[in-house]
Amino acid sequence: MKNKVIIITGASSGIGRACASAFFKRGARLALVARTESKLIELTNSIQNLGGEAMYVVADVSNESDCAKMIGKVVDRYGQIDVLVNNAGISMRALFLDLDLADFKKVMNINFYGTIYATKYALTHILARQGSVVGVSSIAGHKGLPARTAYSASKFAMRGFLEALRIENLKKGLHVLIASPGFTASNIRQNALNSSGENQQESPRNETKMMSAEEVSERIVIAVQKRQNSIVLTSQGKLLVFLNKFLPNLVDRLVFRSLSKEKKSPF
């Protein structure tokens, strides 16, 4: 990773921020992307103060024009792109019956189209370096989760897009990694939308028992270095994906039972 140029979307918190630290420790040059400038400035300064090289771009990945401008700024600064980490995302916890479709589209626009837009404008530069496109997906991209229809749909769509992209570029040296964390300790559940389209503000799960964002980021960086196609994280996540191949009806019942026990479960 020494001197490689890494773009990380959703870099201001959670897995994105942890990825910034993990890539920085390996000598990469960073382009940090998010919507909150104050958090980006703080992170960029902290990396630079430790002797690292980093820039930031304020952008909303659900806006195609923002993504085009963001890629342009990175290329103007560094002259190349080696890795794009599509990490920006938002969750939603609400029954499909109760939610507003405008909020469903918001989740799709950030999680799925954000990946599409950023990848579209970065791809030529990444191919020139035989670099990597990374999608931070989820176990919800392998198994549909109740009360998370929008989130699961966005992650299934991301996974399908990235698998097709990998095959399209099989002879061009492109590396595509689909990383599927299980429940990870971060602020994604606090910021998840509810049926009213507002942040639910509190996590319905015990965050202390989850894999840390730092551990997830280390696994992602190692998978990029090894050019792995996919990783599924947490033992629970691996077991779910495995069992779902052979006993999907059983897994349906187990998932329903587990998520129905969440605090203020909508079902």
Per-residue tens of pLDDT for the chain, all 267 residues: 999 999 999 999 999 999 999 999 999 999 999 999 999 999 999 999 999 999 999 999 999 999 999 999 999 999 999 999 999 999 999 999 999 999 999 999 999 999 999 999 999 999 999 999 999 999 999 999 999 999 999 999 999 999 999 999 999 999 999 999 987 776 664 678 888 788 876 666 566 678 999 999 999 999 999 999 999 999 999 999 999 999 999 999 999 999 999 988 988
d(CA 142, CA 111): 15
The two counts, helices (H) then strands (E), for the chain are 9, 9
Is the distance from CB of 60 to CB of 35 less than 8 angstroms?
yes
164: its two tokens: 């097709």
Closest CA to 111 of 79, 152, 146, 144: 152
DSSP bridge pairs for 177 = 134
Residues assigned a catalytic role: 151
Which CATH number is 5-237's, of 3.30.470.10, 3.40.50.720, 3.90.1150.10, 3.30.460.20? 3.40.50.720
| pTM of the full structure | 0.93
Domain residue limits, the chain: 5-237
Number of residues written out for the chain: 267
177: its two tokens: 């990694």
> How many CB atoms sit inside 10 A of residue 247's CB?
12
Local structure of residue 210 (DSSP, 8 states): S
Residue type, 117: Y
